[in-house]
Structure 1
């Protein structure tokens, strides 16, 4: 299996990162059960000169933990990448593999938690423990002035990293949070298969998030 390299290699955790004992133990279980899977911290994906940063939650068992690429191989990827393509933030064809032709342009995906958590639910301590890697990646993206948080956990990590205060920055779909240094965070429901199947998140709702990001970029660039 081919795995995608990180666009920010100096910010990634080691392949056998030991920081979270519960996640490291699950990683070893997955390596024994599926030795041909990635089964390691999943690197960032996208354009290192991105103007838009997308903050996800954590790798999915049959998605990024298997393929080694964020949002690749499970039910959330198609909605995300189809939306990015339609808004000019990706090109090529998404086929659920790390070696397909999909490429992000102007956007980058970073996760709040780098390793697969049991039941897709990292603990608050695991989120805090992994935050230095997310922080390093945000620092390495000086052109990214707009961020999209996919879900409440990603929202919380992003607010803290960008200098906001959680009591004043409440999570809601399409909510905008203007940070002290001028950066902007937009919230979105996570494009999980559950949220899609229940109608909590539709393609139109998701597209509106990235349309708003583009409009805000135009304003920041002095064109709006």
Structure 2
């Protein structure tokens, strides 16, 4: 199984063509599959994995780091810092001082899709990269899925039917030894429309933090 897509991955023709257009328009942007954001402690330190939808056009597609460069990152990284999963200052660029601690972030779809809407085939194709990311962390104990697509792709990557683990904000499930926490995506649209409030979002990470802390032995 291939663990990471190539910088010029062409598995999904529509996404490949869309990236080619933006390489012409903005040659200094990342404009390639966005790799996972890993913590300073390496793979063995990861207890929490956050799975998002896909890179934002002017966010991660521009900067090359998940949730960096758009509003969703402002809320996500502020929340991660408050619950001990990140440190340093988030300044919406990959060379800021932000570091993850005990957590990693990846998108279910690695390339930016037009209108932020990947097709079912594109989601399925990219799962070949999501599955090994989940498997690479030997001490992974919790996953936070952001939105329906990320949630369903994660459940399938873990070899389970989505009917058994339906998406719902605040839902919690267990697959093998991994606790799954579901949240609405922290997009500007969801927060502006009231689908997701900051406190609702924080509640999910508060629950994940409490679950991980339960396993800590003094």
TM-score range, shorter chain: over 0.9
User: Secondary structure of the equivalent of 1:12?
Assistant: coil
Distance in 1 (alpha carbons) for counterparts of 2:13 and 2:200: 37
From 135, 138, 141, the equivalent of 2:131 is 135
Q: In the TM superposition, what whole-angstrom CA distance separates every residue of 1:134-159 from its partner, at most 9, and x where no partner exists? A: 11111101211100000000000111
Distance in 2 (alpha carbons) for counterparts of 1:23 and 1:78: 26
- Indicate if the aligned counterparts of 2:3 and 2:128 stay in contact, CA closer than 8 A: no
Counterpart residue number, 1:7? none
Distance in 2 (alpha carbons) for counterparts of 1:211 and 1:174: 11
Structure 1, gaps ≥5 residues long: 1-9
Counterpart residue number, 2:81? 85
Distance in 2 (alpha carbons) for counterparts of 1:45 and 1:75: 17
User: Secondary structure of the equivalent of 2:145?
Assistant: strand
Aligned pair count reads: 212
Q: In the TM superposition, what whole-angstrom CA distance separates every residue of 1:53-91 from its partner, at most 9, and x where no partner exists? A: 000110000000000000000111100000000001000
Instruction: Kindly state the Cα deviation for residue 222 of structure 1 after the two structures are TM-superposed.
Output: 6.3
Counterpart residue number, 1:36? 28
Instruction: Kindly state the Cα deviation for residue 177 of structure 1 after the two structures are TM-superposed.
Output: 1.1
Counterpart residue number, 1:146? 142
From 102, 125, 135, the equivalent of 2:121 is 125
Distance in 1 (alpha carbons) for counterparts of 2:38 and 2:10: 26
Distance in 2 (alpha carbons) for counterparts of 1:222 and 1:17: 41
- Indicate if the aligned counterparts of 2:84 and 2:101 stay in contact, CA closer than 8 A: yes
User: Secondary structure of the equivalent of 1:45?
Assistant: coil
Q: In the TM superposition, what whole-angstrom CA distance separates every residue of 1:32-71 from its partner, at most 9, and x where no partner exists? A: 0001100000000022221000001100000000000000
Distance in 2 (alpha carbons) for counterparts of 1:165 and 1:23: 27
TM-score of the two chains, using structure 2 as the length reference: 0.94
Distance in 2 (alpha carbons) for counterparts of 1:162 and 1:183: 10
Aligned counterparts, 1:68-217, within 5 A: 68-179=64-175, 181-217=176-212
User: Secondary structure of the equivalent of 1:177?
Assistant: strand
Instruction: Kindly state the Cα deviation for residue 218 of structure 1 after the two structures are TM-superposed.
Output: 2.9
- Indicate if the aligned counterparts of 1:63 and 1:72 stay in contact, CA closer than 8 A: yes
CA RMSD of aligned residues (A): 1.2
Instruction: Kindly state the Cα deviation for residue 162 of structure 1 after the two structures are TM-superposed.
Output: 2.0
User: Secondary structure of the equivalent of 2:181?
Assistant: strand
Distance in 2 (alpha carbons) for counterparts of 1:135 and 1:85: 26
- Indicate if the aligned counterparts of 1:162 and 1:183 stay in contact, CA closer than 8 A: no
